[in-house]
Amino acid sequence: MYFELMASMMCADYGNLEKEVKSLEEGGIDSFHIDIMDGRYVPNYAMSLNDMRYIAGSASKPLDVHLMVEHPNNRIGLFLDSLRKGDTVYIHPEAEYHPSTTLQSIINAGMVPGIAINPGTSVETVMEMLRIVKKVLVMSVNPGNAGQMYLPYVGKKITKLLSIKEDMDFEIYWDGACSADKILEYAPKGVAGFVLGTTLLFGKEQPYAETLQNIRELRF
Which residues are marked as active site? 35, 175
Strand positions, DSSP E, 74-207: 88-91, 112-117, 135-139, 171-175, 193-196
Beta bridge partners of 104: none
CB distance 72 to 101 below 8 Å = no
In a 13 Å sphere around the CA of 57, the CA atoms on its Cβ side amount to 10
Please give the C-alpha separations between residue 136 and each of 64, 143, 202, in angstroms, as whole numbers. 12, 15, 24
